Amino acid sequence: MKKIYVGLLVLCFGVISLFGADGKALANKYKISASEKAGSQWNRVFDNESKMAKLGIDKLSADEKKALEAYLVAHAADSDAPAAAGM
Amino acid sequence: MNKKIILSTALVSTLFAINLSAVSTEDRITALENEIKALKTGKANSKMVNEMDERLETVETRTIVDRISLGLGMRVEMNNMSTTYANGTSPANEDPIFRTKLNLNMKSDIADNLKFTGRLSSYKNWGDSNYDQMTMANMDAKQGRTPDNSSALYVERAYLDWALNNGSDYPMFLTIGRQPSSDGPSYQIKEGTTRKGTYDALAFDGAADGIVFTANLDKALPGTTSLRFAYGTPNNGSTYNSTTMKDTKVSGIFLDKTCSLLNADHLIQIYAVNAKDLMANPSLANPTTGASLDKNIGDLGLYGAMFEVQNVAGFDFFAHYAHSTAKPNGNTVDLSAMGYGTTEGLLSSSSTTSEATGHAIWVGTQYSMADWSVGAEYNQGSQNWFSFTFSPNDPINKLAARGDAKEVYVAKKINKYANIRLGYVDINYDYTGSGSWLGAPMDITNPFAATQVKESKNTYLTFNVLF
């Protein structure tokens, strides 16, 4: 039973590693720090093509933009920021 | 005739020139007026810019000087508990317990490669002014985490995140100080917040000092992957830096992965931890001599894995499994002087060095719709299950139960920053001593366990603010 559990866990980890992509990874890629702006300011960035172009994120797909915006708003200067070591 | 024509032409030309000259002067005057106006406007603009510059500088100065930003966390709770002992009796009186927890959250971006995070906490029972030694609120891991009779502010968290190689593809951090080791996943699902701690809440929940090395492997794997090595000295005994006992040392390795998949947020954590030289920490000293009864009683290993997924069509799910291995060193504490008539060691009642293994599971789900959410959780622990959940937010430490616990709740968001939650917890203990590492857990049906708690129920109401 324990082996099955560990196997399933490793499988989940692998599957997520293969297909996963999240806002944090995009923020790191484009060197954007979420804490530079408040949540409403990040919302304004994603409503404005020229502001997105300035950050180099205007060519991202709709899903990527959605994930990045969600991450930046969630980690914005005025957000309920997650807490963990090295985060 | 020609003369006349010439004179007339000259006259007309002169008049025309004079007229032209007059128009030109008028235009020039107008142009000059416009220029003056523009200059005046420019001057006004320039004045306005200067004023704004001064104001911005004032704001900038305040921003630079405001080095720590403060946030507020507050929870007011009512716990209506009901206890049943193994012999079928109950306490004569169990009044509802009201408590207030205040968190002053601090953060500061000191430099690009250095951040500070802190939390000062006060957690107090309403109207409680009597010293209660059995709460052991003076125990390090409990400061600011366990309610007591004082409204003192404790340092629950205070740590520096130092980026060792800022800008690198593989960023590495050292987290130094009083760690974010409480309120870890998946506790945040019920609370309706973001993740608030590093470690699986089934295994760890309490304040702890230490140092954590984090290597961020995002470049190598999609999503966010962190590999952590932790070391700390979470003194669980009565004496720190004793001349007769070794301090408890904890070291561990944690693999942590978060990502978004099909618009849902996933978190997986796998870990292995070794706690060396646990102290017995009996709550009382020898009543005759006053001498400490404390001793090092052995080591503990904790291994586990957890998985959680959030925002799947309004649903959140989580599942945790942990395994504990207690390795007593043969030392026992003689509690006969305290009237218990027993000797107790690490999950044992004799000078044994045999390992005692335990395990626990914790699963839960929550469904959210608009401002409402409903959730259910279940956890089960075996006879020798033991973890470091010294200081949970629930008053009966359900995740430490050697038995099973069920919880249901409904929560409503009041606004972006506040919610109210009504819940019910029912714990059935199969063995004694849940949450304690001292003494051998007995089957609750054992006649010697007649006065031990068999069942705990708690109907609670909490009001939470996080701003």
Q: Token pair of B438, please?
A: 């001292």
Instruction: Judge whether A10 is closer than 8 Å to chain B, CB to CB.
Output: no
Nearest Cα residue in chain A from B194: A82
Instruction: Judge whether A25 is closer than 8 Å to chain B, CB to CB.
Output: yes
- B260-291 burial, b at 16+ Cβ within 10 Å, e below that, comes to bbeeebbbbbbbebbbbbbbbbbeeeeeeeee
pTM for the structure as a whole: 0.80
Which residue spans within B329-417 are E strands per DSSP?
Answer: 333-334, 343-344, 356-369, 372-381, 403-415
Using pLDDT thresholds of 50, 70 and 90, give the confidence band for residue A9: low
Q: Please answer whether residues B110 and B117 qualify as being in contact, where contact means their C-beta atoms are separated by less than 8 angstroms.
A: no
pLDDT on residue B6: 61
pLDDT on residue A17: 46
DSSP state of A27: H
Q: Give the tens place of pLDDT for each residue, A51-80.
A: 999 999 999 999 889 989 988 988 888 878
- B386 CB neighbour count, 10 Å cutoff: 30
Torsion of CA A36, A37, A39, A43, to 10 degrees: -120
Q: Which residue among B117, B228, B260 places its CB closest to the CB of A20?
A: B260
- A41 CB neighbour count, 10 Å cutoff: 15
- B67-106 burial, b at 16+ Cβ within 10 Å, e below that, comes to eeeebebbbbbebebebbbbeeeeeeeeeebbbbbbbbbb
Q: Residue B52: helix, strand or coil by DSSP?
A: helix
Q: Would you say the ipTM is above 0.85?
A: no
Query: Which single residue is written with the structure tokens 């929940």?
Result: B205
Residues 34-53 of A with CB under 8 A from B: 35
Q: C-alpha distances in angstroms, A85 versus B60, B72, B169?
A: 30, 21, 19
Residue scoring higher pLDDT (B392 or A14): B392
pLDDT on residue A2: 57
Per-residue pLDDT of chain B (467 residues; tens, 9 = 90+): 556 666 566 555 555 555 555 557 888 888 888 888 877 777 778 888 888 888 888 887 877 778 888 999 999 999 999 999 999 999 998 999 999 999 999 999 899 899 999 999 999 888 876 655 555 556 667 777 777 777 788 999 999 999 999 888 899 999 999 999 999 999 999 999 989 999 999 999 988 999 999 999 888 887 789 999 999 987 666 666 777 788 889 999 999 998 877 778 889 999 999 999 998 876 656 666 666 778 889 999 999 999 999 988 899 999 999 999 999 999 888 777 655 557 888 998 887 888 999 999 999 999 999 899 999 999 999 999 998 888 888 888 999 999 999 999 999 999 988 999 999 999 999 999 999 888 899 999 988 888 899 999 999 999 999 88
Which residue spans within B43-113 are E strands per DSSP?
Answer: 69-85, 97-111
Q: Token pair of B110, please?
A: 């000191």
Q: Token pair of B318, please?
A: 């989580």
Q: Please answer whether residues B335 and B344 qualify as being in contact, where contact means their C-beta atoms are separated by less than 8 angstroms.
A: yes
Comparing CA positions, the residue from A46, A38, A41, A30 lying closest to residue A80 is A38
Looking at CA atoms only, how far is residue A86 from chain B in angstroms? Answer: 5
Computed from CA positions of residues B343, B346, B347, B350, in that sequence, does the dihedral angle turn out positive or negative? negative
Q: CATH classification of B69-466, choosing from 2.40.160.10, 3.40.309.10, 1.20.1260.10, 2.130.10.10? A: 2.40.160.10
pLDDT on residue A20: 46
3-state secondary structure B276-312: EEEECCCCCCCCCCCCCCCCEEEEEEEEEEEEEEEEE
- B433-449 burial, b at 16+ Cβ within 10 Å, e below that, comes to bbbebbbbbbebeeeeb
Judging contacts by C-beta atoms under 8 Å, the chain B residues touching residue A38 are: none
pLDDT on residue B131: 53
Q: Which residue among A24, A35, A83 places its CB closest to the CB of B196?
A: A83
Instruction: Judge whether A11 is closer than 8 Å to chain B, CB to CB.
Output: no
Judging contacts by C-beta atoms under 8 Å, the chain A residues touching residue B106 are: none
pLDDT on residue B17: 52
Decide: residue B61, CB within 10 A, 0-12 exposed, 13-18 middle, 19+ buried: exposed
pLDDT on residue B3: 60
Domain range summary for chain B, segments of one domain joined by +: 1-67, 69-466
Q: C-alpha distances in angstroms, B360 versus B187, B258, B304, B441?
A: 16, 23, 9, 15
CA–CA gap between residue B60 and residue B367 (Å, rounded): 44
Judging contacts by C-beta atoms under 8 Å, the chain B residues touching residue A35 are: 109
Using pLDDT thresholds of 50, 70 and 90, give the confidence band for residue A19: very low
Comparing CA positions, the residue from A79, A33, A83, A78 lying closest to residue B118 is A83
CA–CA gap between residue B370 and residue B375 (Å, rounded): 14
B209 Cβ neighbours under 8 A, 6+ residues apart = B140, B177, B178, B179, B232, B233, B234
Q: What are phi and psi of B457, to 5 degrees?
A: -125, 145
CA–CA gap between residue A22 and residue B213 (Å, rounded): 23
Instruction: Judge whether A18 is closer than 8 Å to chain B, CB to CB.
Output: yes
CA–CA gap between residue B253 and residue A40 (Å, rounded): 38
